[in-house]
Copies of this chain bind each other. A is one copy, B any other.
Amino acid sequence: MLTFIGLGLYDERSVTVEGRGAIRSADRVFAEFYTSRLVGADVAGLEAAFDVDVEVRNREGVERDPEPVLAAAADGDAVFVTAGDTMISTTHADLRLRAESRGIDTRVIHGVTAQSAASSLTGLQNYRFGKAVTLPFPYAHGGDGVPESVRETLDANRERGLHTLVYLDIKVGIGPTGRDPDHEEYMTADRAAALLADGWRDVLGVVVARAGSPAPVVAADRLSALADREFGDPLHMLLIPGDLHHVEAEALVGFADAPESILDE
């Protein structure tokens, strides 16, 4: 049996009660933290909280050498854990498909995602988001600003009045010069706001920092103004609102200290 368990957003208490139970009773616990990570807990903290050994796999260890995980799942109860929800993007679909094709039962125990927290913390309604994008570090796409595909998605959502969730690049194990096991870099929201203000449009943006933590920061202002602020430890996200319903505008003023002028628009 192979159970994919999302740890949620922040620390060892962000997992569901069901997920924690499954981790505690597993024969083997595998984890990866290259797609995202828990900011409020390290591996030793997780091991102590769950009373298990956690075997951390890097990208090669998951994608090119999945055999140890599959063998453990064929022999007993193996769990594979990540921050957020493990299956929310296609990253680990391949591992699940391989397991199923070998006759290994699989299951998903969901975790809280950044996507959910982004609307929940800002008051921007989850219904009214268009396609999401990731803003890469300039060195990661070979340009020096905002990739055209990002600008196109932002524009297409705005044309339809929809909000955009901008995920900010995470580089773990890969740096400006290629593979680097020690590299760990998280794009900050102020840097993202500066990139978008210069390379796209200087519109209203909403920063969400440390979603899921006891003290998340939510701040709305023009991108050029957000670019001059600092939002502390990772992880950060940036939201670009589309048309605002009145309750959404009130929420941005009330929860994110947005300029009150947005209530008149």
Which residues of A are interface residues toward B (Cβ below 8 A)? 6, 8-9, 12-18, 20-21, 85-90, 93-94, 96-97, 100-101, 107-108, 110-113, 115-117, 119-121, 123, 125-134, 156, 160, 162, 211-212, 214, 245, 247-248, 250-251, 254-255
Contacts and interface: CB of A to CB of B under 8 A. Distances in A.
B17 A88 contact: no
Nearest to A212: B110
A247 B110 contact: no
B250 A89 contact: no
A218 to B, nearest CB: 10
A121 B108 contact: yes
9 contacts: A6-B112, A13-B21, A85-B116, A90-B247, A97-B251, A97-B255, A115-B115, A131-B162, A156-B160
A89 B248 CA distance: 10
A88 B88 CA distance: 17
Given A88-B126, A160-B156, A16 B21 contact: no
B126 A115 contact: yes
Contacts of A14: 16-18
A87 B16 contact: no
Contacts of A15: 16-17
Contacts of A247: 90, 93-94
5 cross-chain pairs, A with B, having the tightest CB-CB distances, nearest first: A87-B120, A13-B18, A13-B17, A110-B112, A113-B116
A254 B90 contact: no
Nearest to A248: B90
A176 B237 CA distance: 42
A244 B40 CA distance: 36
A96 B255 CA distance: 9
A16 B111 CA distance: 9
Contacts of A115: 115-116, 126
A160 B255 CA distance: 33
Contacts of A245: 90
A122 to B, nearest CB: 9
Nearest to A98: B254
Contacts of A94: 247
Given A87-B121, A88-B116, A93 B251 contact: yes
Contacts of A18: 13-14
